[in-house]
Amino acid sequence: MARLLAAEHPTLGAMEAASDLDQLYGQMLFANHNYGWARLFFQKNTARWKLWKPQTPETLQRLKQAEDAIVQCDARI
């Protein structure tokens, strides 16, 4: 993941792969009741998709998914 994101302007595919990995780890941590750590992974995705240009329906959907996951974490903390 770090190698993919080390590029100055990573491709959408690279961002999606890194995002999927963070989403998976966040979900695993959430399932194990590690809500603070899960929130951190979801925050990374939120920042990633807020800054992505150009916005597409899929990137906006990923942003909403990350924001919803943060709300779930906050409800458990």
Separation CA 26–CA 66 (nearest Å): 10
Instruction: Spell out the domain ranges in the chain.
Output: 12-76
Residues 6+ apart with CB under 8 A from 76: 30, 33, 35
Residue pLDDT, tens place only, 4-58: 667 677 889 989 999 999 999 999 999 999 999 999 999 999 999 999 999 999 9
In angstroms, rounded to a whole number, what is the distance separating the alpha carbons of residues 60 and 19?
A: 13
